[in-house]
Amino acid sequence: MPPGTPSGSGAPSHSPGASSKSWTVKLRERGVAALPPDKLLPDGQPTYVASWIYVFGVAAIASLIVIVGSGCILALKGPAWWHETGVGHFFNSIHLWSVELFFAAMVVHLWGKYWMAAWRGGRARVWVTGAVTFLVAIPCALTGYVSQQNFDAQWISTQAKDAMNSVGVGAFFNLTNFGQMYSYHILLLPIAVVLLVSLHVLLVRRHGVVPPFELQDKLAGATPPGQAPSGGQQ
């Protein structure tokens, strides 16, 4: 592409020096091609997207937002606050119940997606990112339980350490080390969960919501193997 000409995204390049060799231009072009604005933030859904099962995916994301919000408030005041004040205990309870709701919503969402075989039509990565999110959320919650600085934390950490030690993980992931567990719980693992959920949602937007079996089969049969479909959602 000659310098200064509009990029493939349709957005004009502001720099006469920008070229197809620019990493920034390449990233922008690929990003916009994969997820044009109307696909990223759609104002319509296929008519088959009509079931209560779809509520659980968004409920899981909403729970995660409440978890992160209540977690941020707890982090602002430090780990001792919730033991000492009623307000702190209130936010800890919000944090706990939103975690329970998060997992409950995720489990129903996953079962729903299994029975819909939602990996069809090139959506395997959507399933994989969802499944990995569920698995990463487990240590994220466990590190919270052992960071509580109460009897539960004492008991869970001293019991669960044997499982970690048995596979060698205990050598670098020490459940009885409050400082390490707290870091994992409020920074490292939440970042992993949020990134995975973001990737999962972007992949859903990229591929669209999986259609019922016969519609998907009709779509798959309509495209000869090896021929790329036209991009974008209608």
Partner 1 sequence: MSIWRTELESRTPPWRGPYAPYDLIKELCIAVGAIALLAVLLTVLLSSPDDPPSTIAQWSRQLPGDFAATAAKELNGTSDTAEYGPPYNHSSGSVQHFLILHPQRWLGVSHPIDTAEDYVVKPLETIPNDPALSAALVEYKAASTTQKKEWTEAYAKPLEEYATAVEEKKTPPSTVTVNTSTGTVTVKTSGAGPVPTMMASLQSLAQSGGLEGGLVSSRQFFQTDYTKPLLFIADGGLLEERAEGQHLLGDQWGLMNETGSYPGQPWLWLYALWYQVEPIKSSPNGDIQVLLIMSLLSLLFICIPFLPVINRIPRWIPIYKLIWREHYRSQGG
* Residues 152-191 contacting partner 1, CB under 8 A: 152-160, 162-163, 165-168, 170-172, 174, 176-180, 182
Task: Please report, as residue ranges, which positions from 199 to 218 form the binding site for partner 1 (by CB under 8 A).
Answer: 208, 211-213, 215-217
DSSP-assigned letters across all residues of 143-176: HHHHTS-SHHHHHHHHHHHHHHHHTTGGGTS-TT
Nearer to partner 1, 27 or 100 (CB): 100
| CA separation for the pair 66, 102 (Å, rounded) | 9
| CA separation for the pair 84, 214 (Å, rounded) | 58
Shortest reach from residue 17's CB to partner 1, in Å: 36
Report which DSSP code applies to 49: -
| CA separation for the pair 52, 105 (Å, rounded) | 12
Stretch near partner 1 under the rule CB under 8 A, chosen from 1-9, 17-25, 107-115, 192-200: 107-115
| 90 is an interface residue for partner 1 by CB under 8 A | yes
Task: Please report, as residue ranges, which positions from 111 to 150 form the binding site for partner 1 (by CB under 8 A).
Answer: 112, 114-117, 119-124, 127-128, 131-132, 135, 137-138, 141-142, 145, 148-150
Stretch near partner 1 under the rule CB under 8 A, chosen from 11-19, 29-37, 187-195, 226-234: 226-234
| 198 is an interface residue for partner 1 by CB under 8 A | no
Q: Cα-atom radius of gyration of the chain, to the nearest Å?
A: 23
Task: Please report, as residue ranges, which positions from 16 to 55 form the binding site for partner 1 (by CB under 8 A).
Answer: 41-51, 53, 55
The closest alpha carbon to 49, from 211, 189, 233, belongs to 211
Nearer to partner 1, 33 or 48 (CB): 48
| Residue 95 near residue 67 (C-beta atoms within 8 A) | yes
User: What is the separation of C-alpha 207 from the centre of its chain, rounded to a whole number of angstroms?
Assistant: 16
Nearer to partner 1, 1 or 66 (CB): 66
- Altogether, the residues listed in the chain come to a count of 234
Shortest reach from residue 136's CB to partner 1, in Å: 11
| 194 is an interface residue for partner 1 by CB under 8 A | no
Nearer to partner 1, 7 or 216 (CB): 216
Helical axes 86-115 vs 53-77, angle rounded to 10°? 150
